[in-house]
Structure formats: C-alpha cells, structure tokens
C-alpha cells in the first residue's frame, strides 16, 4: 500500500513541470546554466526515473529518506518527524473540540427534534459546513488577532521566548477552534441523523419498557449505538482534516505537515514531498486502525485481532 502510494507520488511529481533546480532560480536574478549543472549533478536528477525511484526506495527501506533539497543540511526524516507533533496537536485539539461540540449538539438536536433549538443548531451547523475553511481562518485571524489581539497572529511559539505550555496553548486556541468549526458541524449532522435512527430501534423501546429514565435511554442506550457511524465518519475525516489543516497551517503559519508539504510542493523538494506523503499515509492508515479499534471497543460485535 505504502509502496504503491510512493510510486504514485513519485510519478506524479515527475509529471509536474519544473524540478527542484528550477525552484532555485529566481527569475529576476537568475543563475547561469553551469551553476545549475552543479546542483543537478549532485542530486542525481539526470538519471532515468526507475533508477531514481529504486535508489530512493532502497534508501527509504533502510530508513534513509535523504536530505531536503531546499534546506541545506536538513535530513528529511527528522524534518518530517518534527512536523508530526504540531500537526497532531492542532488537528487533535481541533478534532477533540469538534467531537465534543458536535456530539453533544447532535444529541441535543436529535432529542429536541424539529423544535426551535434544533432548527437553530442545524442552521448553524449548515453554515459551518458551507463556509470555506480558509475564509473562516482569514476572518478569525483578522478579528481575533489583528483587531482584538486576543490571540497571537500565527506560529506555534512566541519568537524568542523560552518554550512553555501556556505559550503553545495561546497559539493553539484560535486555529484549533477555527479548525473545529466545519468538523463540529459535520459531526453534529451525522450524530443527529444517527441518533434519530437509533431512537427508532427496538432496543430503545425495550429500554423504555424497562423503565429507564429518558435521559439514560438517550445517553446509555441510544448514544453508544449512534456513535458507531459517527466514529467511521471521524476516522474518514482525518484525511479531510489534514486538508483543512493545510489552509489553517498556511494562514496561521503553524509549523506542521501541511505547511511543510505546501512549501515542499512549491519548491519541488522531492525528498521532502515523498517523505511527508508517506508519513501522512502511515498516519491515515494508523488512524483507520485506531478507528477500527475504537469501533470494536464501542461495538462488541466487531472483533479485532
């Protein structure tokens, strides 16, 4: 799977016009061809594609993902590893907020089906789903950072300040909240639909027939079952979340995978793109695995081995 992914990316990359050396040339203060030859030689970009790929694969299998072309002296693996943390932090926080908000709003909405609070929540959720991530990010940045100065305008830490948790949190809050908007809305819609469906199930009627309090009927008997499709949804949104994170990371200058990739694609930094895509692929696969495990925990009918 990962090999297939790497082949795909490799081919895609080589199909794209411009190579890393082209990225080096500033068209308004260009360099001579012989200057460029130096770089091309060193990177082995003149060899046939299969040879280049196999060389990359052989090195990658032994754990060597090469060096970034655009950043002197930076090996790909540590560079990529360094970025996982921030992205995981941003996405994790954003998704956590989204999950908590989305699920509770979904439950509330389903229970109050078609009542005013449900309609309001649903409309809000629809607006959330319908707003482009980058627009909310831009506006959020402008209002909360530039105008109100409630939060830093970007980055993960205050430049020059020693590392501190509160500093990172201060930088995290705004982008994480903005990231959560769309996801919360989506989760809420799914949760609502799923819960409404579950509420029609026989076992919910059984629970009521047992005299379980309505609150516990919803929370204990219905919600856990209603969560199942939502878990699948959350698992499959991780890919999308990485996408949303790209917008946010570039607007908020968050030093994560998305930003790294956007930069790497912009400079045709092949080793970094390959490394980062693979790591993202692994993460997605891991998240799917995690989803399966969570699913199995929630649903005893599924067995994981």
Partner 1 sequence: MTITARDPTVDPTAAPQTKGPLRRALDRFFENRAARAGLLIVVPILLAVSTYHLWWPFSPNAIDLRAINKGPSAIHWLGSDGVGRDVMARLMQGGRISLLVAVCSVAISIVIGFLVGAVASFGGRLVDGTVMRFVDLAMTLPPVIFLLVLASIAGTGIAPTILVISLLSWPVLSRMVRARLLELRERDFVVAARGMGAGLPHLLFRHGLPNCIDILVVYATLQIANAILLEAGLSFLGLGIAPPEASWGNMLNLARSTVVLEQYPWQWMFPGAVLVLTVLAINFIGDGLRDAFDPRSDLN
Partner 2 sequence: MRIKTIARHLAITGLLLGGLATSVQAQGAKTITGGFDVGPGGFPKNFNPLAATGGFTWLSTYFEPLVIYNAELTELEGDLAKDYTVGDDQLTYTFNLVQETWHDGKPFTSKDVKFTLELARNKASGSLFAARLGDIASVDAPDDRTVVVKLSKPNGSFLSILSQVMILPEHALAGMPPETLATSTWWSTTPVGTGPFKFNRYVSDQYVELAADDDYRSGKPKVDVLINRYFESPAAAVAALRAGEIQFTYVEPDDAVSFKSDSNFKVIEGASYVVNYIGLNQKVELFRDVRVRQAIMHAIDRNAIIESLYGGAAKPANCGYVAPHLLPEGLEPYAYDPAKAKALLAEAGWEKINGDKPITLLTYYGSPQAANVMAAIQSMLAEVGINVVPRVVDTPTYNGIVYKEGTPDWNAFAMVYAGLQNGPNPAGISPGLNKSQIPPAGFNTMRIEFDDLSAALDAALGQTDPAKIDKSWQEVCKVMNKDLPWATLWVANRYGVASNKLRDFVWTPAPAGGPYAAHPERWDIQ
Partner 3 sequence: MDAPILSISGLRAVFRIAGRDIAAVQDLDLTIGSGETVALVGESGSGKSVTSLSIIGLLPKKIGHIAEGSIALRRRDGTVTELTGLDPESLRKVRGNDIGMVFQEPMTSLNPVYTIGEQIAEPIRIHLGKSHRNAAADAVRLLAQVGIPDPDRRARQYPHELSGGMRQRATIAMALSCNPTLLIADEPTTALDVTIQAQILDLLAELQAQRGMGILFVTHNLGVVAEIADRVAVMYAGRIVESGPVSEVFTRPRHPYTAGLMRSVPRLGQATSLKAAGTPLPTIAGNVPSLALLPKGCSFAPRCAMAVDACRAAVPPLFAATSTQHSRCLRWKDL
For binding to partner 1 (CB under 8 A), which residues are involved?
A: 1, 4-5, 8-9, 12-13, 15-17, 122, 126-127, 129-135, 138-139, 142, 146, 200, 236, 239-240, 242-243, 246-247, 250, 258, 261-262, 265, 273, 277, 280-281, 284-285
Q: Tell me how far, at minimum, the Cβ of 138 lies from partner 1, in Å.
A: 5
Bridge partners of 75? 67
Q: What does the block give as tokens for 141?
A: 């940045």
Asked whether 65 and 274 are in contact (CB, 8 A), the reply is yes
Provide φ and ψ at 28, rounded to 5°.
-90, -10
The one of partner 2, partner 3, partner 1, none whose footprint includes residue 26, by CB under 5 to 8 A per kind, is partner 2
Q: Encode 145-206 in three state secondary structure.
A: HHHCCCCCCCCCCCCCCCCCHHHHHHHHHHHHHHHHHHHHHHHHHHHHHHHHHHHCCHHHHH
Q: Tell me how far, at minimum, the Cβ of 184 lies from partner 2, in Å.
A: 21
**If binding is defined by CB under 8 A, does position 210 make contact with partner 3?**
yes
Size of the residue set binding partner 3 (CB under 8 A): 20
Q: Tell me how far, at minimum, the Cβ of 19 lies from partner 1, in Å.
A: 12
Q: Tell me how far, at minimum, the Cβ of 251 lies from partner 2, in Å.
A: 7
Asked whether 156 and 254 are in contact (CB, 8 A), the reply is yes
Q: Tell me how far, at minimum, the Cβ of 185 lies from partner 2, in Å.
A: 26
**If binding is defined by CB under 8 A, does position 28 make contact with partner 2?**
yes
Question: Exposed, middle or buried, 103 (CB in 10 Å: 0-12/13-18/19+)?
Answer: buried
**If binding is defined by CB under 8 A, does position 33 make contact with partner 2?**
yes
The one of partner 1, partner 3, partner 2, none whose footprint includes residue 213, by CB under 5 to 8 A per kind, is partner 3
Q: Encode 9-45 in three state secondary structure.
A: HHHHHHHCCCCHHHHHCCCCCCCCHHHHHHHHHHHCC
The residues binding partner 3 (CB under 8 A) are 201-203, 205-214, 221, 224-225, 298-301
């Amino acid at each position: 799977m990962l090999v297939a992914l790497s082949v795909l990316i490799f081919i895609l990359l080589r199909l794209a016009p411009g190579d890393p050396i082209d990225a080096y040339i500033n068209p308004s203060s260009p360099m001579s061809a012989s200057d460029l030859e130096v770089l091309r030689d060193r990177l082995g970009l003149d060899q046939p594609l299969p040879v280049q790929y196999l060389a990359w694969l052989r090195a990658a299998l032994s754990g060597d993902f090469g060096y970034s072309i655009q950043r002197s002296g930076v090996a790909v693996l540590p560079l990529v590893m360094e970025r996982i943390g921030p992205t995981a932090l941003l996405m994790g926080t954003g998704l956590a907020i989204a999950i908590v908000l989305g699920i509770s709003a979904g439950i509330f909405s389903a229970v109050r089906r078609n009542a005013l609070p449900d309609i309001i929540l649903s409309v809000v959720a629809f607006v959330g789903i319908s707003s482009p991530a980058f627009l909310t990010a831009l506006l959020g940045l402008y209002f909360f950072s530039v105008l109100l100065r409630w939060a830093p305008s970007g980055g993960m830490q205050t430049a020059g300040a020693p590392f501190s948790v509160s500093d990172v949190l201060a930088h995290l809050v705004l982008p994480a909240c903005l990231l959560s908007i769309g996801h919360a809305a989506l989760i809420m819609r799914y949760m609502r639909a799923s819960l409404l469906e579950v509420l029609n199930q026989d076992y919910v009627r059984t629970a009521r027939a047992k005299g379980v309090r309505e609150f516990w009927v919803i929370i204990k008997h219905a919600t856990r079952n209603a969560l199942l499709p939502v878990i699948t949804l959350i698992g499959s949104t991780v890919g999308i979340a990485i996408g949303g994170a790209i917008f946010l990371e570039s607007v908020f200058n968050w030093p994560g995978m998305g930003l790294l990739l956007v930069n790497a694609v912009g400079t045709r930094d092949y080793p970094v793109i390959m490394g980062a895509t693979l790591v993202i692929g692994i993460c997605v696969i891991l998240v799917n695995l995690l989803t399966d495990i969570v699913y199995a925990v929630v649903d005893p009918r599924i067995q994981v081995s």
